[in-house]
Amino acid sequence: MKIFKFGGASVKDAESVKNVASILSLYKKEQLIVVVSAMGKMTNALEKVVHAYYNQDPELKTYIDEIRNFHFKIVDDLGFPENHPLRHELENCFVEIDWACEEPPSRGYGFSYDQIVSQGELMSTKIISAYLMNSDIANAWLDVRDVLQTDNTYREAKVNWELTEQLIKTRIPQLHASNNIIVTQGFIGGTSENFTTTLGREGSDYTAAIFSYCLDAKEMIVWKDVPGVLSADPRYSQDSVKLDQVSYHDAIELTYYGATVIHPKTIKPLENKHIPLRVCSFKSPKEKGTSVGNFQATKPLVPCFIYKPAQLLISISAKDFSFIAEASLHKIFGLFAELKIKINLMQNSAISFSVCVDNDPFKIPELLHELQKDFRVLYNEDLMLITVRHYYPSTIEQLIKGKKVLLEQRSRQTAQVVLKEIKS
């Protein structure tokens, strides 16, 4: 059995949905689970709805209508007739959104977020499943919330592995008995009280890894808009090369430092069961892409660059110029944990502690406010954190030439620099 994952870019319009069908037609004889994300940028659009609902923004209805028009245009472009049941099913998703937006927001932002944003994946999979049927690709649509069980940490739900594995192992063979292809949603899960949760942004890769793990899949393939894992994100570097093979270890490190081509939680479940992962291009589906697996070394072994823009470098020191020692660090780390702020890089000296973090417009003001109560806090905005794995000293020299370096750190395999971002 193979697990496929199609992300937003691969289902962004009618043409892309047709392309997904043509890829799947190549695999009709195999047992597949096809995990699909919301279409195009619909998760962002749904986030806007949640925000508007919470802030009683009068534009709320306009935002919902934009999402409705987007999906129904794809349905029209795919040639579904006026009376096709798919249209009714999509209408039901909008009823769910309307209901969620009518309730007083008493259960918290995260709860509302998950009930609303999850509709993106439910709609995309309904459209894809129905289109595959119309194209003679028989398939079963699975509501992933029936098998992927989580706790109720809304927006960052933790998987109940034991229960999920048990449910997946029971349900999937039943569905596969009558259909080789099962279409289901990435990113979302369900709680024991039947509420919907989400696994964190970009979480569909992780969903595919969960299925792979629970079913001992032969292979997992993520279909992307790039030829494979490259030595740098093509949005930042024109001269990146494709990596033919990447060791699990390198893949974990690259994604941990922010290579967004694969969600960081994806690799570990695969590695634990030695399940190979392939990153393939949905634009050239017959090319080999990148294999991630139990390799001794990544090939070709070239420096890999990870760019993290919009960084904030915070320097924290004691108000009385005493040392930043264990007790202060305990307090500082406690705050980061409480506000769920991930530290991308940190450095400690006798009197100051520096951290580089994503400049999140909601979390950072609160963090600074809290820190300022006990510490002297200085910060720099608009920075770029560049991580280089498998670097040569000359790689770093070239990288920082003529740039203002605010922080630099090197280990044997990995170098990190924080630079003043050049705004174009």
> Which parts of this chain interact with ligand ASP (CB under 6 A)?
7-8, 37-38, 43, 120, 186-187, 201-204
Closest CA to 287 of 242, 248, 251: 242
Contact 107, 153 (CB under 8 A): no
Closest CA to 200 of 63, 306, 310, 340: 340
Distance CA 174, CA 104 (A): 40
Choose which of 39, 64, 261, 384 interacts with ligand ADP (CB under 6 A): 261
Q: Which residue number, 11 or 383, has a Cβ lying nearer to ligand ASP?
A: 11
Distance CA 26, CA 17 (A): 15
Q: Which residue number, 88 or 342, has a Cβ lying nearer to Mg ion?
A: 342
Nearest residue to ligand ADP on Cβ basis: 7
Distance CA 77, CA 69 (A): 12
Choose which of 24, 101, 126, 202 interacts with Mg ion (CB under 5 A): 202
**Residue 151 is encoded by which pair of tokens?**
């706790």
Ramachandran quadrant class, 25 (left: phi over 0; alpha: psi -120 to 50; beta: rest):
alpha
Assign 160 to helix, strand or coil.
Answer: coil
Residue 138 CB, shortest distance to ligand ADP, in Å, is 25
Distance CA 280, CA 262 (A): 12
Confirm or reject binding of residue 235 to ligand ADP (CB under 6 A).
yes
Task: Choose the stretch contacting ligand ADP; rule: CB under 6 A; options: 224-232, 295-303, 317-325, 338-346.
Answer: 224-232
Closest CA to 314 of 358, 257, 350: 358
Choose which of 39, 159, 175, 229 interacts with ligand ADP (CB under 6 A): 229
Task: Choose the stretch contacting ligand ADP; rule: CB under 6 A; options: 95-103, 170-178, 231-239, 376-384.
Answer: 231-239
For Mg ion (CB under 5 A), the number of binding residues is: 2
Choose which of 3, 4, 8, 281 interacts with ligand ADP (CB under 6 A): 8
**Residue 313 is encoded by which pair of tokens?**
């470098």
Q: Which residue number, 255 or 354, has a Cβ lying nearer to ligand ASP?
A: 255
Assign 17 to helix, strand or coil.
Answer: helix
Residue 281 CB, shortest distance to ligand ASP, in Å, is 17
Confirm or reject binding of residue 7 to Mg ion (CB under 5 A).
yes
Strand partners, 247: 293
43 binds, among Mg ion, ligand ADP, ligand ASP, none (CB under 5 to 8 A by kind): ligand ASP
Which residue ranges make up the site for ligand ADP (CB under 6 A)? 7-10, 37, 202, 224-226, 229-230, 232-235, 259-261
